[in-house]
Amino acid sequence: MTALETGGFSDGIFDPPLTEKDREEIGCSICLLMPRDAQECINGHIFCKTCISLWESKNSKCPVCRTVTAYLPKMISKFEELTVKCIDCNWKGDLNLYGEHEKIHKKNISTNQTNLNSPPKRRKPVNDLRHHLDAFASELERRKRAVERFYIERERKRRQYQREVNLLSRQLDFLADDLIRANQELERPRRPRTRSLTHLDAENVTTRARASTMPRVDV
């Protein structure tokens, strides 16, 4: 068989190491490593995606069963039970998560190499850092005072509105009392008005009173 580029996970990352049973059950049939992006033929043979892609470019038959077939993605539940570690850092976790960690790790290494090739940045002196800290503290204090002034002004307005509401309430009470008294006056029965005595009527009354008191003379 022509040698192909392997695409499986290296044996050195597994902790604890793999057993021969694991290799036989879920290992790639081409590179004999734990498969990356596992693919499966119709007869259940498992391969790395890279390995089977290279194989398909030269042969359309399965390298194990020699059946012309299509390869479908394979979800291997056993991967959740396999613990791996990163050989470049202290990371440790499930095999399903190792691919993402490896991408991030390679990206960080590439970034670090770029930083090594670029000129080093000038470190800010301690005085500059203190200046920024003082400026930040001043800004924080300014905002704190602004918030306090806002709450004080809001409380002042609330009390002012409360006083105005109380004043209007008392005025409404006075108006209501006046309306009640006016209504009571209208509902009260009025006495009939008597005609006042004129000057002549008073004289007639006086004359009649005198005549009644005079002695009677018989003729």
Tell whether the model's pLDDT for residue 48 goes beyond 60: yes
* pLDDT bracket for residue 121 (50, 70, 90): low
Tell whether the model's pLDDT for residue 4 goes beyond 50: no
| CATH code of residue 26 | 3.30.40.10
Residue ending a domain, among 61, 88, 117, is: 117
Model confidence, pTM: 0.43
**Overall domain count for the chain:** 2
Three-state DSSP string of the chain: CCCCCCCCECHHHECCCCCHHHHHHHCCCCCCCECCCCEECCCCCEECHHHHHHHHCCCCECCCCCCECCCEECCCHHHHHCEEECCCCCCEEEHHHHHHHHHHHHHHHHHHHHHHHCCCCCCCCHHHHHHHHHHHHHHHHHHHHHHHHHHHHHHHHHHHHHHHHHHHHHHHHHHHHHHHHHHHHHHCCCCCCCCCCCHHHHHHHHHHHHHHHCCCCCC
In a domain, residue 61? The reply is yes
Average predicted confidence (pLDDT) for the chain: 77
Q: What is the pLDDT of residues 154-182, one digit of tens each?
A: 899 899 999 999 999 999 998 988 888 88
Q: What is the pLDDT of residues 23-47, one digit of tens each?
A: 888 888 888 888 888 889 888 899 9
In a domain, residue 205? The reply is no
